[in-house]
Structure 1
Amino acid sequence: MPNSKLKISGLTKRYGDFVALAPTDLEVAEGEFLTLLGPSGSGKTTLLSLIAGLAVPDGGQLLINGKDVTFGAPYERDIGMVFQNYALFPHMTIAENIAFPLKMRRVDAATARRQALEALEMVRLPHVAARFPKELSGGQQQRIALARCLVYKPSIILMDEPLGALDKKLRDHMQLEIKRIHRELGTTIVYVTHDQEEAMTMSDRICLMNGGKIEQLGTPSDLYFRPRTLFVADFLGESNLFEGTVTEVRGDHVEVALAQGGAVAHAVTNAPVAAGGKVRVMVRPQNIAMANGVTAANAVSGKVLDSMITGSLTKLYVESDAAGQAPVVLSYPTSMGASRHAVGQQVTLTWQRSDAVAVPDSL
């Protein structure tokens, strides 16, 4: 990878017999926004702790700017950290809080204050310099924590669920602020979250983790539209997963006989599959439509279980043999003029081959 800022090779961490992080390879480019995403216990926080130097690996190598810091102390790594807990000093003014890292680096007081005020401008809070942390809202305190990290210009900024304590509206606003700052400064950011929407919104790439290993690494679009495993298909966003058996493989296009109902599905795949193999065909709710006429493939029939307006989207739940126990979910934009579907109504659902992805049927 050109202009690599962070390079991890075979990094691993164990706690007794428990493997918190299996041998892992990962490279982050200069100026990239990479998100470590996954459920609790997936290894994302362990990996972040190893990058930060807050934990000692049991094997592997970690390079920052080409320098081996595998066993280096945190202060030797040229990193900054932003936590969910803002960790601001309550007895210091905001300007003093931001200038504190510069003071520790023996920057003279006048320069430190000037750079602290510049950092406040960066997070659009120049008017709070003389206030104390208790006088600010949670969102403002988080922006101050970010400014304190930015002020000494670290090579990499690590963020550990920094928006987890904020309400949804404020969290959405802070996502835009962090992205704006990242875009303006070109800072390399490694961000940890369990929030799928947050990861999709903010990242250049997502590193989705599961069971102490990387499940899939790629752009948000890669993971959402072209998952390689059942875990990725099921974890990221809402999905319909039809059980089936591969009957034919033509390059990255496959034909699948769905497990029940006698339906046939045509799909694409990014994973190695073979004729006779068990797969799940993933189709996103927004990619399913009502069939207007007779269709032989990429179609399932069923009866309407329920219809719900969730805001901007209306969701239709359909019971179908092809989906096993779970109902098929179809979503479309909410509008006054949309036709209503009665509970119990028989319907046929269909989708385009390019919107269907076959993944091996195993977690």
Structure 2
Amino acid sequence: MPSSNLTISGLCKRYGDVTALAPTDLEVANGEFLTLLGPSGSGKTTLLSLIAGLSQPDGGTMLINGLDVTYGAPYERDIGMVFQNYALFPHMTVEDNIAFPLKMRGVKPGQARQQAQEALEMVRLPHVAQRFPKELSGGQQQRIALARCMVYRPAIILMDEPLGALDKKLRDHMQMEIKRIHRELGTTIVYVTHDQEEAMTMSDRICLMNGGRIEQLGTPADLYFRPRTLFVADFLGESNLFEATVAGTTGDGLSLALDGGRVQAGAAVHGTAPAPGQKVRVLVRPQNLGVKRVEPDAPALSAQVLDVMITGSLTKLYLKAPFAGETPITVAFPTSQQSTRYRVDETLWLQWQAADAVAIVE
């Protein structure tokens, strides 16, 4: 078996003059959990639809386990699909729902029932085998849909925003359940969501899409700590982005000048190395900003408190400073008794480690 379950080369899709998916290359490894993430209209659902065979591409090729399925029907692709609305047959029991794809593949009834029971054990719902879908909760229906999909062990399981209809607590629980099942089965999963936190929690790699193209492909840590473009930096997680000018280099980093002083940041991770005088954006995550009440000896930037919000386990400070323009600066840290002592209009001093900041070439 090839090392990649899915190999896509130059796959594209147009609707009239609209390019839904520009020519795209993508490889998904055996057993990988890959999430297609992006805003509405980014191309993630179009790409999933092409993988599933629910729509036909206008160019490019697609291989599943080394076989060309570019224009093949869905049933020729060795895939399973889990939809947001579950798509369970209401007139069938849970066991019959799960056994249905086996029946379509000519599996004998006795063996199909046994495999259905094994799938129910996998999703920890063996006791609901004789119930009907309407007698199950939303989370249980989702697990049954997953069991029906995996019972025949497809090469790839596709999931189209499967947790979108669940409340937050149940969604968090189902994220862990899907990850557990993925680890136990070792099946390749391609998962679509617009939820950043969901993508960060569940994925081996994230394929972040924008405007019908792949903006960046990598591990959650890659995208979070080493974004290659401003879109990635701004889309994934909370971010502070400051305009700065390159003053010089410092080892493997950059010395940057901005309104209020000099700072340091890691070298730009995309494009050519910036030259002195070039404009860049500095990304610093809220939790990586340190605040002090007294100006320290080391270089620091002053800012004024706009608001203080205790959100529970985290406290967030919103600050203003000339180097940030009109956009408030966000600082986040664990809530403590100290959190209540910050006051609106108070002047604080900001610092960060060079390794916690990234300079992005615009």
TM-score norm. by structure 2 comes to 0.96
Where in structure 1 do 4 or more consecutive aligned residues deviate above 6 Å? none
How do residues 28-39 of structure 1 correspond to structure 2 at under 5 angstroms? 28-39=28-39
CA distance in 2, matches of 1:109, 1:138: 28
CA distance in 1, matches of 2:165, 2:309: 29
User: Which residue number corresponds to residue 294 of structure 1?
Assistant: 296
Q: Which amino acid aligns with 2:233?
A: A
Q: Which amino acid aligns with 2:296?
A: V
How do residues 210-221 of structure 1 correspond to structure 2 at under 5 angstroms? 210-221=210-221
User: Which residue number corresponds to residue 51 of structure 1?
Assistant: 51
Residues 249 and 274, structure 1, Cα contact 8 Å, conserved in 2: no
Kindly state the Cα deviation for residue 115 of structure 1 after the two structures are TM-superposed: 0.4
Deviations 1:113-170 (A, max 9, x none): 1100110000000000000000000000000000000101000000000000000000
Residues 252 and 269, structure 1, Cα contact 8 Å, conserved in 2: no
User: Which residue number corresponds to residue 158 of structure 1?
Assistant: 158
Kindly state the Cα deviation for residue 270 of structure 1 after the two structures are TM-superposed: 1.1
CA distance in 1, matches of 2:110, 2:31: 30
CA distance in 1, matches of 2:289, 2:327: 16
CA distance in 1, matches of 2:173, 2:289: 31
CA distance in 2, matches of 1:295, 1:44: 49
Kindly state the Cα deviation for residue 277 of structure 1 after the two structures are TM-superposed: 2.5
CA distance in 1, matches of 2:349, 2:148: 57
Q: Which SS does the other structure have where 2:91 is aligned? A: coil
* Residues 1:181 and 2:181 are matched in the alignment: yes
CA distance in 2, matches of 1:248, 1:8: 41
User: Which residue number corresponds to residue 41 of structure 1?
Assistant: 41
User: Which residue number corresponds to residue 25 of structure 2?
Assistant: 25
Q: Which SS does the other structure have where 2:121 is aligned? A: helix
Q: Which SS does the other structure have where 1:165 is aligned? A: coil
Q: Which SS does the other structure have where 1:130 is aligned? A: coil
How do residues 130-169 of structure 1 correspond to structure 2 at under 5 angstroms? 130-169=130-169
How do residues 1-363 of structure 1 correspond to structure 2 at under 5 angstroms? 3-249=3-249, 252-258=252-258, 260-272=259-271, 273-275=273-275, 276-291=277-292, 293-295=295-297, 297=299, 299-338=300-339, 340-361=341-362
Q: 1:295 to 1:12 in 2, by over 3 A?
A: farther
CA distance in 2, matches of 1:71, 1:252: 48
Q: 1:304 to 1:2 in 2, by over 3 A?
A: farther
Residues 253 and 264, structure 2, Cα contact 8 Å, conserved in 1: no
Residues 226 and 357, structure 1, Cα contact 8 Å, conserved in 2: yes
Deviations 1:212-240 (A, max 9, x none): 00000000001001111100000000010
Kindly state the Cα deviation for residue 265 of structure 1 after the two structures are TM-superposed: 3.3
CA distance in 2, matches of 1:75, 1:250: 57
Deviations 1:187-206 (A, max 9, x none): 10000000000000000000
CA distance in 2, matches of 1:250, 1:60: 44
CA distance in 2, matches of 1:156, 1:250: 46
Q: Which amino acid aligns with 2:155?
A: S
Q: 1:68 to 1:250 in 2, by over 3 A?
A: farther
Q: Which amino acid aligns with 1:332?
A: F
Q: Which SS does the other structure have where 1:271 is aligned? A: coil
Residues 256 and 265, structure 2, Cα contact 8 Å, conserved in 1: yes
Q: Which SS does the other structure have where 1:304 is aligned? A: strand
CA distance in 1, matches of 2:93, 2:316: 50
Cα RMSD of the aligned pairs, angstroms, is: 1.5
Kindly state the Cα deviation for residue 249 of structure 1 after the two structures are TM-superposed: 4.1
Residues 305 and 317, structure 2, Cα contact 8 Å, conserved in 1: yes
Kindly state the Cα deviation for residue 248 of structure 1 after the two structures are TM-superposed: 2.2
Q: Which runs of 5+ in 1 are unaligned?
A: none
Kindly state the Cα deviation for residue 274 of structure 1 after the two structures are TM-superposed: 1.5
* Bigger Cα displacement from structure 2, 319-328 vs 136-145: 319-328
CA distance in 1, matches of 2:152, 2:297: 62
Deviations 1:35-76 (A, max 9, x none): 000000000000001111111111111000011111111111
Residues 255 and 262, structure 2, Cα contact 8 Å, conserved in 1: no
Residues 33 and 205, structure 1, Cα contact 8 Å, conserved in 2: yes
CA distance in 2, matches of 1:154, 1:185: 11
Kindly state the Cα deviation for residue 250 of structure 1 after the two structures are TM-superposed: 5.8
* Bigger Cα displacement from structure 2, 286-295 vs 60-69: 286-295
Q: Which runs of 5+ in 2 are unaligned?
A: none
Residues 243 and 323, structure 1, Cα contact 8 Å, conserved in 2: yes
Kindly state the Cα deviation for residue 183 of structure 1 after the two structures are TM-superposed: 0.4
Residues 160 and 192, structure 1, Cα contact 8 Å, conserved in 2: yes
% of aligned pairs identical? 74
TM-score norm. by structure 1 comes to 0.96
